[in-house]
Amino acid sequence: MKSMKVTLVLGTRPQIIKSAPLICLANNDPEIELSIVHTGQHYDYEMTKIFFEEFNLPEPTVNLNVGSGTHAQQTAKIMIRLEKILLKQKPDLVIVPGDTNSTLAGALTAAKLHIPVAHIEAGARSYDMRMPEEVNRRLTDHCSTLLFTPTENCTKNLLKEGIEEKKIYQTGDTMYDVLLRELPKAEKTTILEKLGLEPKTYVLLTAHRPENVDNLENLKNIIEAAIKLKPIIVVFPIHPRTQKQLRKMKLYKKIEKEKHIIMIKPQGYHETIKLIKNAKLILTDSGGMQKEAFWLKIPCLTLRETTEWPETMILGANSLVGTNVQKIIEKFNDIMNKEKEIVENLKDLPNLFGKGEASQKIIEIIKSIKSYLKN
């Protein structure tokens, strides 16, 4: 039997994480010939290569090395370079996970070449078109042949937008697959000991979205809120983009003076999961971390006005606080005052993101409709 040629296009840390179990399954399946194209969107070692090593994934077949640039420059560079690769590889299917510039560029390039596209994490919506991720995910969904949704809400979003039901498969979330598989390894990391931390004595803060870190007022407010959380410890893994902006806006030295804020470099997946699981609370603008906090039963305050994961809010595990200092502090105090009750409630919440079998389902669906894709 001739194997199915599949090209997976990725370029950022979250994409590597959510693709890891799928890559492992595809590599062990004789019916699938997998090629990994890394766009180089995250060109910093700590943001990508470390994750290939951490998950024991094969090296990418191709690295497009696009590096940084404006959204238009990055997307255009990926499309120009990827087109040559796809014309050479002639895959039966191109898979794009998530909502990055690499996702959209991969989907558009394949669609223009009449190669079927499968979108993993389809249907997520924040309904905020100011977010580049929202633009990417919407356009990707509408030029995809197969749409793998993580939740019922995502499926409903696609149907509302007129996408044919026969293209949509509700598989659950591949990020949950990763969490279940990697949690035992995460538990064994010594990140808490290295930082001199006890479980449940700190807040974990992350910020990387352009609307927060490229906006002086928003970034200043986030730092102000972190300072006001004293005396509780704030662990702050700093994204390279965020660090650059903090220095540019002359906020870095202000944080350095605060002994209760521990700034650390970006961590590997296992260390990050260990930090989330043992935190009192998460303060983040990351979509992925909102879900990880939900799965690990940790209260989350999201530093945004919208979220693509309303499921976490409906169940009371997550609150939108934006970058309003007073709102952040008030919500933090509310959670701390009702901590026992909230923690108990989180334990009983249903998981709307599947059972940790999404990657297996995706592989089976792809194989089952192989002949349909080739027509």
Residue 47 has pLDDT above 70, yes or no: no
CA distance 16 to 364: 20
Distance between first and last Cα of the chain: 18
Q: Average pLDDT, whole number, for the chain?
A: 94
State the residue for tokens 């993993």.
120
The enclosing H or E element of 15 equals helix 13-27
Which CATH class name applies to 188-347?
alpha beta
Tell which phi-psi region holds residue 70, choosing left (phi > 0), alpha (psi between -120 and 50) or beta: beta
Average pLDDT, integer, range 214-230: 96
CA distance 169 to 181: 22
CA distance 225 to 227: 5
- Residue 35 has a pLDDT of 98
Confidence of residue 43 (pLDDT cuts 50, 70, 90): low
User: Which DSSP letter does residue 363 get?
Assistant: H
- Residue 166 has a pLDDT of 96
Residue 45 has pLDDT above 60, yes or no: no
Q: What one-letter code names the amino acid at 347?
A: K
* pLDDT tens-digit map of 188-200: 999 999 999 999 9
Average pLDDT, integer, range 94-105: 97
Bridge partners (DSSP) of residue 168 are 147
Confidence of residue 240 (pLDDT cuts 50, 70, 90): confident
CA distance 248 to 176: 36
Residues 182/368, Cβ–Cβ less than 8 Å: no
- Residue 99 has a pLDDT of 97
Rg of the chain, C-alpha, whole Å: 20
* pLDDT tens-digit map of 360-374: 999 999 999 876 665
Average pLDDT, integer, range 259-264: 97
* pLDDT tens-digit map of 100-130: 999 999 999 999 999 999 999 999 999 999 9
* pLDDT tens-digit map of 292-304: 999 999 999 999 9
Residue 42 has pLDDT above 90, yes or no: no
Catalytic residues: 208
Confidence of residue 246 (pLDDT cuts 50, 70, 90): very high
- Residue 247 has a pLDDT of 93
pTM over 0.85: yes
CA distance 7 to 58: 14
Domain 4-173+354-374 indexed as CATH 3.40.50.10490 = no
Confidence of residue 50 (pLDDT cuts 50, 70, 90): confident
Average pLDDT, integer, range 237-255: 91
Question: What single string gives the DSSP state of each residue in 127-150?
Answer: --TTSHHHHHHHHHHHT-SEEEES
Residues 276/296, Cβ–Cβ less than 8 Å: yes
Q: Name, in order, each residue with C-beta under 8 angstroms of 286's C-beta and a sequence gap of 6 or more.
A: 206, 208, 209
- Residue 51 has a pLDDT of 85
Helix, coil or strand: residue 36: strand
Query: And the tokens for 313?
Result: 């809010």
Q: Which of 181, 122, 177, 173 is nearest to 147 (CA)?
A: 122
Strand order, beta sheet including 281-284: 261-264, 233-237, 202-206, 281-284, 300-302, 318-320
* pLDDT tens-digit map of 303-329: 999 999 999 999 999 999 999 999 999
Domains 4-173+354-374 and 188-347 share a fold: yes
Q: What one-letter code names the amino acid at 33?
A: E
The enclosing H or E element of 183 equals helix 174-188
Residue 68 has pLDDT above 90, yes or no: no
CA distance 299 to 206: 14
Residue 277 has pLDDT above 80, yes or no: yes
Give domain limits for the chain.
4-173+354-374, 188-347
Helix, coil or strand: residue 103: helix
State the residue for tokens 């659950």.
172
- Residue 372 has a pLDDT of 62
Helix, coil or strand: residue 267: coil
